[in-house]
Amino acid sequence: MSHKKSSTPHEAPAPTTPPHPEHDPQPAAREPDPIILSIRGSQAWREWLRHFAAHRRVTTTALIDQVLAETAQREGFAAPPPRHSRASANHNGHPRDP
């Protein structure tokens, strides 16, 4: 009787260790922030808004947020709370726009 050797040697699986909570924290799943504002407008107004946002080098959502905060401050109104209730920043550290 002849015994054939396998052409591929068997390797033991690499040992696995469970992730350590201090080194591999898992972000808590949270509900997304609700949509709180929707504005209807003409195509011309939309383009104007986009150009104004581009002039300030921000998104239209960030522009609206900034202008509201600036207007509130100028009128002596309290500063707004953070726009997002959860940590949802993009790679630039700015809140994500929808």
Q: How far is CA 48 from the centre of its chain?
A: 26
Task: Assign 8 a pLDDT band (cuts: 50, 70, 90).
Answer: low
92 within some domain: no
Task: Assign 90 a pLDDT band (cuts: 50, 70, 90).
Answer: very low
Domain count, the chain: 1
Model confidence, pTM = 0.55
Residue 41 neighbours by CB distance under 10 Å: 10
What residues make up the domain containing 62?
43-74
84 within some domain: no
Diameter of the chain by CA atoms?
97
97 within some domain: no
**Which tokens sit at 19?**
């992730």
**Which tokens sit at 16?**
């696995």
Contact of 37 with 83, CB cutoff 8 Å: no
33 within some domain: no
The whole-number pLDDT of residue 82 equals 85
**Which tokens sit at 46?**
């939309």
Q: pLDDT digits over 11-68, tens only?
A: 666 666 666 656 656 666 778 888 888 999 999 999 999 999 999 999 999 999 999 9
The whole-number pLDDT of residue 43 equals 97
54 within some domain: yes
Place of tokens 């550290």: 93
52 within some domain: yes
93 within some domain: no
22 within some domain: no
